[in-house]
Amino acid sequence: MVANDHGVVLGSPGRGSTVAEWTHFRAHLETPRLFVLVLVLVLVLVLGAR
């Protein structure tokens, strides 16, 4: 379920807005586990973009 949501968000044209949404989303939960998940997701995006 979560992976599908990630795919939809990452598939959207505006990457800047998605980053802002993730930051806002992360600030709401403030969960270390979620922070690690987002960090891994960002690393995958950076490595995949190259």
pLDDT for residue 22: 72
- Residues with Cβ within 8 Å of 6's Cβ and at least 6 positions away in sequence, in order, are 41
pLDDT for residue 4: 46
Per residue in 2-50, pLDDT tens? 444 555 444 445 555 677 777 777 666 656 777 788 889 999 999 988 7
Exposure string for 14-48, b = 16+ CB within 10 A, e = fewer: eeeebeeebeeeeeeeeeeeeeeeeeeeeeeeeee
pLDDT for residue 45: 92
What is the C-alpha separation between 13 and 36, in angstroms, rounded?
25
pLDDT for residue 44: 92
pLDDT for residue 42: 93
Residue 1 has pLDDT above 50, yes or no: no
